[in-house]
Structure 1
Amino acid sequence: MTSPFVRRRRLATELRTLREERGLTAEALSRLLHRSRMKISRMENARGRPDVAVVIKILDVLDVPDDRRQKIITIAAEAAERGWWDTFGDTMGARQRMYADIESGAATIRGYDLMSIPGLLQSPEFNQALIELDKTEMPELDYGGRR
């Protein structure tokens, strides 16, 4: 399942593409819809949850074919869904909510930590092997702490 954030981005791309295909500016579309240009801009930039009714009006004004129309309405409905993180309100923090939103649809999450060594590698033998490797690669180092 794709996250609502990703769906909002996809919807934004679809709406902007449709408007541009028709040769309309955001200002012209806003006049046709009797909505503010800011409302159109927010939808085309994936800022906040979309209003499905407004999306349907946009599709009506742009005279979108039924097959593409249904696909976009489905994306809009899914993009308007709330995630589990929304129940925490502002206590979670905007940045944490954004990560939860993006990660909610992830199939795999990988991390990289340069400073972390897995527990199995933290053995005296492994450390000694690293020291020996350093001695061969940098013989000018004195392992008593001096150069």
Structure 2
Amino acid sequence: MPPAGPTLRQWRLGHELRKLRQQAGMSATGAAAQLGVNTANISMIESGRGAISAERLRTLVGVYACADEDLVDALAAMTGGRTRGWWDEYREHLPAALIDVAELEHHAMQLCAVLGMHIPALLQTPDHARALFAQVVPPLRAYEVEHRLAFRIRRQGVVYGSDPKPYRAIIHEAALRMGFGGPDIARAQLRHIAEVSTQENISVRVIPFSKGTFPGNGQPFDYAHGAVRQLDTVQLDVHHGCEFLDSEAQLGKYRTILERMEDCALGTEESRDFINHIAESI
């Protein structure tokens, strides 16, 4: 039986509808009257706990006088209530935030990761990932490590599968030299990155120590592009889990950081040579 709480995608749909209502200067009671439902229905939809059809959504945003047809189409595509994905198999075994990350990646149009101290999750080898999980605080049990490892490998299907998404990674040299798991694992990890970076959909660029300071203060983040810019999402890895940011101001900030970090990074070919050089020196 699926959990009672909304998925990240359901929550985001409701959140966007609430923003449109507020921008229209309309109360939940007023919106309910226009739609011919009670206020509780509007509250349930906006909290992500109540489903809404594409047809009714279009009626609702018409009441809000939203003229952005691309946004309306994108929101309509998010309707229909909860749909199960492969990640639902792990809901009883992993923190909810990790499930949200997989759902976010699955529905994104393209993905970008910025890392200062770690290799991006979608580019990690199983041995490298297992070495990282061994350092989790509090310690994970052996079966918990295997659950997380299997989940991470399944997540990587968004960039290695039959219909791979465009993926950009900006990695600081520090992350390439951390050496998690020892020399053999670290060398194999770097060679893996260099190899997959030749795929048409994957771009890996490195910021070397020689560049000095760089924007963002080293905060790692993932940027998931939605069907329209308003539906982009920034995901932050923090000590207590994950945080998801989607306000216009927050998205604008991280877009700027991303652009400036790309300005600091080596080109793709130069980055690949740089990664291979570090691998050979281990």
Q: Compared with structure 1, are the counterparts of its residues 62 and 14 closer, same or farther at alpha carbon in structure 2 (3 Å cutoff)?
A: same
Q: Which has the higher helix share?
A: 1
Partner in structure 2 of residue 114 of structure 1: 138
Q: TM-score, normalised by structure 2?
A: 0.31
Distance 1:54 1:116, change over 3 A: closer
What does residue 46 of structure 2 align with? 44
1:73 has 2:71 as partner: no
Larger Rg computed on CA atoms: 1
Quickly say closer, same or farther: Cα 1:54–1:103, change in 2 above 3 A: same
In the alignment, structure 2 segments of 5+ residues that lack a partner are 1-5, 106-120, 123-131, 143-180, 182-282
Structure 1 position 105 matched with structure 2 position 103: yes
List 4+ stretches of structure 1 deviating above 4 A. Answer: 106-111
Alignment check: 8 A CA contact 2:57 2:76 kept: yes
- For structure 1, the residue ranges without an aligned partner over 5 or more in a row are 89-94, 121-147
Aligned-residue offset at 1:76: 2.5
Q: Which has the higher strand share?
A: 2
Contact 2:44 2:50 survives alignment (8 Å): yes
**Conserved? CA contact 1:8–1:50, under 8 Å:** no
One-letter amino acid matched to 2:26: L
Give the counterpart of 1:35 among 34, 37, 56.
37
How many equivalent pairs are there? 109
User: RMSD across aligned C-alpha pairs, in angstroms?
Assistant: 3.9
CA 1:23–1:113: 2 relative to 1, 3 Å:
same
Structure with more contact order per residue of length (Cα contacts < 8 Å, sep ≥ 6): 1
